[in-house]
Amino acid sequence: MTNNPHPPKISVFPNKAELAQAAAEAFVEKARAAIEARGRFSVVLAGGGTPKDLHALVGSSPLKEQIEWSKVDVFFGDERFVPHDHEQSNYRQAFESLLKQLDSTQVTVYAVPTENISAEEAAKKYEKTLQDYFATKATPFDLVFLGIGPDGHTASLFPNHPLVTEENDELVQVIHDSPKPPATRLTLSFKSINAARDIIILAAGENKRAAMEGLLDQSVAIKDLPVKGIQTNEGTVCWYVDEALMGEELLKDLDL
Protein backbone atom coordinates (compact mmCIF):
# COMPACT_ATOMS: atom_id res chain seq x y z
CA MET A 1 0.00 0.00 0.00
CA THR A 2 1.37 3.41 -0.91
CA ASN A 3 1.13 6.30 1.46
CA ASN A 4 -2.36 7.19 0.32
CA PRO A 5 -1.62 9.14 -2.88
CA HIS A 6 -5.21 10.32 -3.18
CA PRO A 7 -5.94 13.12 -0.71
CA PRO A 8 -9.00 12.03 1.30
CA LYS A 9 -12.29 13.87 0.89
CA ILE A 10 -13.05 15.64 4.16
CA SER A 11 -16.51 16.91 5.12
CA VAL A 12 -16.51 19.12 8.21
CA PHE A 13 -19.67 19.60 10.27
CA PRO A 14 -20.29 22.18 13.03
CA ASN A 15 -20.98 19.48 15.61
CA LYS A 16 -21.52 15.75 16.24
CA ALA A 17 -25.28 16.00 15.72
CA GLU A 18 -24.95 17.46 12.22
CA LEU A 19 -22.19 14.94 11.44
CA ALA A 20 -24.48 12.07 12.44
CA GLN A 21 -27.36 13.51 10.40
CA ALA A 22 -25.21 13.77 7.28
CA ALA A 23 -23.88 10.23 7.77
CA ALA A 24 -27.43 8.93 8.23
CA GLU A 25 -28.55 10.64 5.02
CA ALA A 26 -25.56 9.11 3.22
CA PHE A 27 -26.62 5.69 4.57
CA VAL A 28 -30.11 6.18 3.09
CA GLU A 29 -28.79 7.45 -0.24
CA LYS A 30 -26.25 4.65 -0.69
CA ALA A 31 -28.81 2.04 0.34
CA ARG A 32 -31.26 3.37 -2.26
CA ALA A 33 -28.59 3.42 -4.99
CA ALA A 34 -27.25 -0.06 -4.20
CA ILE A 35 -30.72 -1.63 -4.07
CA GLU A 36 -31.67 0.08 -7.32
CA ALA A 37 -28.47 -1.08 -9.03
CA ARG A 38 -27.94 -4.54 -7.53
CA GLY A 39 -31.03 -5.44 -5.55
CA ARG A 40 -29.31 -5.45 -2.16
CA PHE A 41 -27.26 -3.14 0.12
CA SER A 42 -24.34 -4.48 2.16
CA VAL A 43 -23.24 -2.16 4.98
CA VAL A 44 -20.49 -2.58 7.55
CA LEU A 45 -21.12 -0.91 10.90
CA ALA A 46 -18.32 0.70 12.88
CA GLY A 47 -17.68 -0.18 16.49
CA GLY A 48 -17.12 2.13 19.40
CA GLY A 49 -19.33 5.02 20.46
CA THR A 50 -19.23 7.47 17.56
CA PRO A 51 -21.75 5.66 15.29
CA LYS A 52 -24.48 5.51 17.99
CA ASP A 53 -26.14 8.79 16.90
CA LEU A 54 -26.01 7.73 13.24
CA HIS A 55 -27.58 4.37 14.12
CA ALA A 56 -30.36 6.03 16.12
CA LEU A 57 -31.20 8.27 13.16
CA VAL A 58 -31.40 5.53 10.50
CA GLY A 59 -33.38 3.34 12.91
CA SER A 60 -36.10 5.91 13.50
CA SER A 61 -38.48 8.11 11.51
CA PRO A 62 -38.24 9.69 9.05
CA LEU A 63 -35.11 7.96 7.70
CA LYS A 64 -36.06 4.42 8.79
CA GLU A 65 -39.01 4.36 6.40
CA GLN A 66 -36.80 5.46 3.50
CA ILE A 67 -34.75 2.25 3.65
CA GLU A 68 -35.92 -1.12 2.25
CA TRP A 69 -34.54 -3.05 5.26
CA SER A 70 -35.55 -6.42 3.77
CA LYS A 71 -32.83 -5.82 1.15
CA VAL A 72 -30.17 -4.70 3.64
CA ASP A 73 -27.35 -6.96 4.88
CA VAL A 74 -25.51 -5.71 7.98
CA PHE A 75 -21.92 -6.70 8.82
CA PHE A 76 -19.40 -5.58 11.47
CA GLY A 77 -16.03 -3.93 10.83
CA ASP A 78 -14.65 -5.38 14.02
CA GLU A 79 -15.89 -7.09 17.14
CA ARG A 80 -14.63 -7.45 20.65
CA PHE A 81 -14.36 -11.16 21.47
CA VAL A 82 -17.01 -11.09 24.22
CA PRO A 83 -20.62 -12.38 24.34
CA HIS A 84 -23.07 -10.34 22.29
CA ASP A 85 -24.82 -9.15 25.47
CA HIS A 86 -21.55 -7.98 27.03
CA GLU A 87 -21.28 -4.23 27.62
CA GLN A 88 -18.13 -4.08 25.45
CA SER A 89 -19.73 -5.90 22.49
CA ASN A 90 -20.03 -3.96 19.24
CA TYR A 91 -23.00 -6.18 18.39
CA ARG A 92 -24.67 -5.00 21.61
CA GLN A 93 -23.87 -1.38 20.73
CA ALA A 94 -25.47 -1.85 17.30
CA PHE A 95 -28.44 -3.73 18.77
CA GLU A 96 -29.17 -1.08 21.40
CA SER A 97 -28.73 1.86 18.99
CA LEU A 98 -30.19 0.40 15.78
CA LEU A 99 -30.99 -3.30 15.38
CA LYS A 100 -33.65 -3.55 18.10
CA GLN A 101 -35.55 -0.78 16.27
CA LEU A 102 -35.57 -3.00 13.15
CA ASP A 103 -37.26 -5.97 14.81
CA SER A 104 -40.32 -5.65 12.58
CA THR A 105 -38.23 -5.50 9.40
CA GLN A 106 -36.54 -8.37 7.54
CA VAL A 107 -33.07 -6.87 7.78
CA THR A 108 -30.32 -9.53 7.65
CA VAL A 109 -27.57 -9.24 10.27
CA TYR A 110 -24.28 -11.13 9.98
CA ALA A 111 -22.93 -10.95 13.54
CA VAL A 112 -19.38 -12.01 14.31
CA PRO A 113 -19.55 -15.30 16.27
CA THR A 114 -17.99 -14.86 19.72
CA GLU A 115 -19.35 -17.72 21.86
CA ASN A 116 -18.47 -21.41 22.19
CA ILE A 117 -15.70 -20.91 19.64
CA SER A 118 -12.06 -19.77 19.65
CA ALA A 119 -11.23 -16.36 18.20
CA GLU A 120 -9.28 -18.03 15.38
CA GLU A 121 -12.20 -20.33 14.54
CA ALA A 122 -14.55 -17.31 14.66
CA ALA A 123 -12.35 -15.41 12.23
CA LYS A 124 -12.33 -18.33 9.81
CA LYS A 125 -16.10 -18.68 10.15
CA TYR A 126 -16.74 -14.97 9.51
CA GLU A 127 -14.31 -14.99 6.58
CA LYS A 128 -16.29 -17.91 5.07
CA THR A 129 -19.51 -15.95 5.68
CA LEU A 130 -18.08 -13.07 3.64
CA GLN A 131 -16.78 -15.33 0.89
CA ASP A 132 -20.12 -17.13 0.63
CA TYR A 133 -22.02 -13.83 0.63
CA PHE A 134 -19.92 -12.30 -2.15
CA ALA A 135 -19.16 -15.68 -3.77
CA THR A 136 -15.57 -14.45 -4.18
CA LYS A 137 -12.51 -13.79 -2.02
CA ALA A 138 -13.11 -10.07 -2.54
CA THR A 139 -15.50 -8.11 -0.35
CA PRO A 140 -17.07 -5.27 -2.37
CA PHE A 141 -19.24 -4.00 0.48
CA ASP A 142 -21.48 -1.18 -0.70
CA LEU A 143 -20.67 0.97 2.33
CA VAL A 144 -18.18 0.59 5.18
CA PHE A 145 -18.37 2.86 8.23
CA LEU A 146 -15.21 3.19 10.32
CA GLY A 147 -14.24 5.06 13.45
CA ILE A 148 -10.74 6.07 14.47
CA GLY A 149 -8.92 6.23 17.76
CA PRO A 150 -6.70 9.11 18.90
CA ASP A 151 -3.71 6.96 17.87
CA GLY A 152 -5.03 6.62 14.34
CA HIS A 153 -6.23 3.04 14.68
CA THR A 154 -9.31 2.02 12.76
CA ALA A 155 -11.45 -1.08 13.24
CA SER A 156 -8.99 -3.14 15.29
CA LEU A 157 -5.95 -2.27 13.18
CA PHE A 158 -3.52 -0.63 15.58
CA PRO A 159 -0.25 1.27 15.04
CA ASN A 160 2.88 -0.87 14.53
CA HIS A 161 0.91 -4.08 15.04
CA PRO A 162 1.73 -7.06 12.76
CA LEU A 163 -1.83 -6.90 11.35
CA VAL A 164 -0.76 -3.52 9.94
CA THR A 165 2.97 -3.97 9.32
CA GLU A 166 2.90 -7.44 7.76
CA GLU A 167 1.52 -8.28 4.33
CA ASN A 168 -1.45 -10.62 4.61
CA ASP A 169 -4.22 -12.04 2.48
CA GLU A 170 -6.89 -12.59 5.11
CA LEU A 171 -10.30 -10.94 5.08
CA VAL A 172 -10.83 -11.32 8.83
CA GLN A 173 -8.05 -11.21 11.40
CA VAL A 174 -7.58 -11.80 15.13
CA ILE A 175 -5.74 -9.59 17.60
CA HIS A 176 -5.00 -10.77 21.15
CA ASP A 177 -3.07 -7.73 22.36
CA SER A 178 -5.30 -4.81 21.46
CA PRO A 179 -4.07 -1.67 23.21
CA LYS A 180 -7.75 -0.67 23.42
CA PRO A 181 -9.56 -3.13 25.72
CA PRO A 182 -10.71 -5.78 25.46
CA ALA A 183 -7.48 -7.34 24.27
CA THR A 184 -8.98 -9.99 21.98
CA ARG A 185 -10.86 -8.78 18.93
CA LEU A 186 -11.70 -9.74 15.39
CA THR A 187 -11.28 -7.20 12.61
CA LEU A 188 -11.80 -6.84 8.89
CA SER A 189 -8.39 -6.52 7.24
CA PHE A 190 -7.23 -3.66 5.03
CA LYS A 191 -7.82 -6.00 2.09
CA SER A 192 -11.41 -6.57 3.13
CA ILE A 193 -12.20 -2.93 3.94
CA ASN A 194 -10.47 -1.41 0.92
CA ALA A 195 -12.48 -3.53 -1.52
CA ALA A 196 -15.57 -1.51 -0.60
CA ARG A 197 -17.41 0.73 -3.01
CA ASP A 198 -17.68 3.55 -0.46
CA ILE A 199 -16.05 4.11 2.92
CA ILE A 200 -17.12 6.76 5.43
CA ILE A 201 -14.78 7.46 8.33
CA LEU A 202 -16.59 9.02 11.29
CA ALA A 203 -14.50 11.05 13.73
CA ALA A 204 -15.39 13.78 16.19
CA GLY A 205 -13.69 15.61 19.01
CA GLU A 206 -10.39 17.37 19.63
CA ASN A 207 -8.85 14.16 21.02
CA LYS A 208 -8.66 12.83 17.45
CA ARG A 209 -7.05 15.91 15.86
CA ALA A 210 -3.57 14.34 15.91
CA ALA A 211 -4.87 11.51 13.71
CA MET A 212 -6.12 14.07 11.16
CA GLU A 213 -2.79 15.93 11.31
CA GLY A 214 -1.02 12.63 10.65
CA LEU A 215 -3.36 11.86 7.77
CA LEU A 216 -2.44 15.16 6.13
CA ASP A 217 1.28 14.76 6.80
CA GLN A 218 2.85 12.80 3.93
CA SER A 219 5.81 11.89 6.16
CA VAL A 220 3.60 9.84 8.50
CA ALA A 221 3.59 6.15 7.53
CA ILE A 222 0.63 3.80 7.51
CA LYS A 223 2.28 1.59 10.15
CA ASP A 224 2.22 4.59 12.52
CA LEU A 225 -1.28 5.72 11.53
CA PRO A 226 -3.27 2.72 10.26
CA VAL A 227 -6.27 4.77 9.14
CA LYS A 228 -3.95 6.03 6.38
CA GLY A 229 -4.10 2.53 4.98
CA ILE A 230 -7.81 2.98 4.24
CA GLN A 231 -7.76 3.60 0.52
CA THR A 232 -9.94 2.15 -2.20
CA ASN A 233 -8.98 1.58 -5.82
CA GLU A 234 -12.31 2.22 -7.51
CA GLY A 235 -14.39 3.42 -4.56
CA THR A 236 -14.48 6.57 -2.43
CA VAL A 237 -13.18 7.36 1.05
CA CYS A 238 -14.77 10.27 2.82
CA TRP A 239 -14.09 11.60 6.29
CA TYR A 240 -17.05 13.00 8.23
CA VAL A 241 -15.54 15.10 11.03
CA ASP A 242 -16.63 17.93 13.28
CA GLU A 243 -15.06 21.36 13.84
CA ALA A 244 -13.88 20.34 17.30
CA LEU A 245 -11.66 17.69 15.72
CA MET A 246 -10.29 20.00 13.06
CA GLY A 247 -9.65 23.09 15.17
CA GLU A 248 -9.14 26.59 13.74
CA GLU A 249 -5.61 26.03 12.41
CA LEU A 250 -6.42 22.96 10.31
CA LEU A 251 -9.62 24.56 9.03
CA LYS A 252 -7.60 27.58 7.94
CA ASP A 253 -4.79 25.46 6.42
CA LEU A 254 -7.30 23.44 4.41
CA ASP A 255 -9.38 26.50 3.63
CA LEU A 256 -12.48 24.60 4.84
Chain residues that interact with ligand 6PG, rule: CB under 6 A: 46-50, 77-78, 80, 90, 147-149, 153-155, 180
Contact of 112 with 76, CB cutoff 8 Å: yes
In the complex with ligand 6PG, the residue whose CB is nearer, 147 or 214, is 147
In the complex with ligand 6PG, the residue whose CB is nearer, 130 or 148, is 148
In the complex with ligand 6PG, the residue whose CB is nearer, 130 or 203, is 203
In the complex with ligand 6PG, the residue whose CB is nearer, 69 or 123, is 123
In the complex with ligand 6PG, the residue whose CB is nearer, 51 or 59, is 51
Please report the beta strands in 108-178, taking only residues with DSSP state E, as ranges in sequence order. 108-109, 143-147, 172-175
In the complex with ligand 6PG, the residue whose CB is nearer, 153 or 197, is 153
Angle formed by the axes of helices 209-216 and 243-253, nearest 10°? 30
Q: How far is the CB of 238 from ligand 6PG (least distance, A)?
A: 16
What is the Cα–Cα distance from 8 to 92, expressed in whole angstroms? 31
Phi, psi for 32 (deg, rounded to 5)? -60, -45
What is the Cα–Cα distance from 232 to 8, expressed in whole angstroms? 11
Contact of 80 with 86, CB cutoff 8 Å: yes
Contact of 204 with 22, CB cutoff 8 Å: no
Q: How far is the CB of 157 from ligand 6PG (least distance, A)?
A: 8
Q: How far is the CB of 70 from ligand 6PG (least distance, A)?
A: 27
Phi, psi for 130 (deg, rounded to 5)? -65, -45
Contact of 154 with 231, CB cutoff 8 Å: no
Beta bridge partners of 248: none
Q: How far is the CB of 46 from ligand 6PG (least distance, A)?
A: 5
Cα(first)–Cα(last) distance of the chain, in Å?
28
In the complex with ligand 6PG, the residue whose CB is nearer, 19 or 107, is 19
Neighbours of 203 (CB within 10 A): 26
